[in-house]
Amino acid sequence: MALFTIQNEFRYEIVRMIFEGGMGIVYEAEQLGAREFVKRIAIKVIRQNYANQKEFIENFIGEAKLVADLIHTNIVQTYHLGETNGVYFMAMELIRGVNLEQFAQQLTDRRRVLPKELAVFIVSRVARGLAYAHAKTDKDGKPLGLVHRDVSFKNIMIAFEGDVKLTDFGIAKARGFLVDNEGEVVAGKADYMSPEQADFQVTDQRSDLFSAGVVLAHLLLGKNIFKAPTAEESRQRMIGMPMPDFRTLDARVDDRLNEILQRALARDLAKRYQNGDELLYDLEHYIYHSGYGPTNETLGKFIRELFGQAVPPAAAQTLTGSPKHTKRTSRQSAKS
């Protein structure tokens, strides 16, 4: 039985709540059409205590408008922005799968090690999605200057078919779409953000590529070397911790893979990958240069064997979230 029904130009029936985060709630729903047409989707709604706050509503609408035209196999698609009884909601692609946080936990629980080729493959798909999003233009052909700013384990999903999907553009910045207080507020997960993001500086697409490098290192090592007991300590690690030689941390990391990691995680912006296409090329060349390499089907088989297609209760939590916003204070130095 439906919990409630949303009636608008489209009709949706809520099936169950998938996740309740700090600022939003995600439901699994059925989109109903003529002649008993039914499509399973996800519905993202602002939590009631934020529903009357102008900035949250504007950013929610801005996010919907921003991602509406992001149509790519490696990005969770948004179908519709609606409003009912004064509450705004987004109808989104429903992913049957898990996010990387759940994926990593299952690897630990099953005492399995992720093959390095699959780790590289996963991040190569993230790089594909980022390359597309970063190059997106408006209807007049002007670059949007989109930066996701929250590329992390919780915001990367793997479907049981093996598709890798980047989601949650809720704190992304793009010209003309979302309220942005960059320089005064740092938004995102401290243990995945770039050094410039952690230091209250203005970011560009290279910030997301650093975060993708953190994701790759995390997948390979089975831990996030930047994660500290507190968010502030994690931020400081991002800004100043010496970058290790990854070959000494995992014997599977060879010279070439270490070079890729070092370039993705370069604190000097001039030495970092300049765009997603560069990172994508190096990752794909690494896994395919000698012949056959991993595919969606390879990853899908691995994850189905790992989970048995049993989706944990909060499997789609990355369609929403409550990103931490750290305000700049006198005790937190930042470059202007």
Give CA–CA dist 268/173, Å, rounded: 22
Phi, psi of 292 (to 5 degrees): -65, 140
Give CA–CA dist 308/87, Å, rounded: 37
In sequence order, which ranges of 205-327 are alpha helices (DSSP H)?
205-221, 231-240, 255-264, 276-288, 296-307
Give the β-pairing of 325-327 and 185-187: antiparallel
- Structural contact between residues 74 and 61, judged by C-beta atoms closer than 8 angstroms: no
Q: Does the CA dihedral 225-231-236-238 come out positive or negative?
A: positive
- Structural contact between residues 171 and 320, judged by C-beta atoms closer than 8 angstroms: no
Strands (E), the chain: 5-7, 11-20, 24-32, 38-46, 78-84, 87-92, 97-99, 156-159, 164-166, 185-187, 325-327
Residue type, 114: L
What is the gyration radius of the CA atoms in the chain, in angstroms?
20
Q: Which residues are catalytic?
A: 150
Q: Does the CA dihedral 69-28-19-73 come out positive or negative?
A: negative
Give CA–CA dist 92/78, Å, rounded: 4
